[in-house]
Structure 1
Amino acid sequence: MPQAETVSATPPAPSADLDPIDALPARALRRFAGAVIAAGVHACARLDASQLPDGLVADGLGRRPLLVTNHRSPLDYCVVVTVCRTGGRWPAMFAREDFFARAPSRLLLRALALIPAATGRGAPDGLRRANRLLDQGRVVAIAAEGRLVHAAERPDGVGRLRAGTGRLAAEGADVTVLTITGADAAWPPGRSAPRARWRHRPTITVRAERMSFEAAVSPTDAGAAVRTTMVELVGRDPA
């Protein structure tokens, strides 16, 4: 995820096949959206990224950087954007396919570098798009469980992982597991907006660990290894 995109860096050199997310309006939109998202996160919670190297996730992610996250709250996307933006990167993330159904929202979401998370026959299209972005050195982020996971559905802290994470890892992505805990206290599943708290804001903790795989690893084994690492990281912040 040419050079990886930065918030304030020189834009990628023009090419005959310019990716729509490299267009000037899309880059300007992401800069504005990133500032708004970060302000929103800090307004409803305290963000603890102290466990990340220098509080950032931008460096040392590898040539084809894939962030694999857990998913407990609608706020998780905003947290990932905020910690990546702080390090000068914008993550291309998967979003529900039905969000792209209407043309206006489809244009907006694509400008924000979101990838339709299709299921069934359409699933490979999203993974191909992710691989193209990874080939360009862009940061791609994927919620490994593929949906919001309630507390009762994650007895060891993590729900069942979908197959996409293992496939991308087995196809050569440089995987960093990024776990988010505490976001569901700020924005619980089922609510249309975060809880308004002027005092005693909850703390959202972000942890990360880089993984490595053998060249011949299978998608199943890669996915299992990712899940093991994710369980270990979230276990440091029981909730």
Structure 2
Amino acid sequence: MSSFAKKAVLAAALGSSALASNAAPAGSSDQQKPTVVLVHGAFADGSAWSKVIPLLQAQGLQVVSVQNPLTSLADDVTATRRALDRQTGLVVLVGHSWGGVVITEAGLHERVKSLVYVAAFAPSEGQSVADLSKDYPPPSGFAHIVADKEGFLMLSLEGVSQHLAQDLPAEETQLMTVTQGPVRGKNFEEKVSDAAWKTKPSWYIVSEEDRMIQPELQKAMAQKISAHVVTLAAGHTPQLSQPAEVAKVILAATADISK
């Protein structure tokens, strides 16, 4: 065997040893803990979970924050399914706002064992956001949505600071305004093909001071899906204004499927 070949064999052997030594032992507690996959809403990006992520990680959980393109329901569901496909264990799937529509469909994935809706839309099969909202007065934040020529929507600084996240300091809402993801307006007319909450246990955080989704609509959706309900005195982004309370609900969902 040539000197080069011997070195290649030795390197492969060393690499295999390193992988084996770093692998978690079979049956370890880390292997059994669910992974939390977080799905952001409209007018946001994956950093919307920045305060919740470290709280979950401190409990030894693996966490993934999906970056939704916000270009269609199908595109966002595909992005979420890609994240789910990468997991090797059980998953708690969490959605905020528009992200609730996404997890309702993507939550059919075999790895997902429970759902957490955070001030989120929870449609039934064949329903869209427009269908859910039609019987409720428009929230005040809707008056501050700006559309571009291609039909993508963004919130003005006033919309973010006074309606999306009125319970956050100005420096945070300014950053949120700059980093928000434009959302295709037609997304809100697209209907889900199935609803994962029909067969999987769900949790729902109702934001009582929400100015983007009517609190009464949130309560009605939570009741419809037979969710475990937690109510917070919060605006539309409780994961940023009350991250510890949101983390508690997610941890409850992970504990439930770890029994």
| TM-score between both structures, scaled by the size of structure 2 | 0.28
Query: By percentage of residues, which structure has more helix?
Result: 2
| TM-score between both structures, scaled by the size of structure 1 | 0.29
Comparing both chains, which one has the higher relative contact order based on Cα–Cα distances under 8 Å and sequence gaps of 6 or more? 1
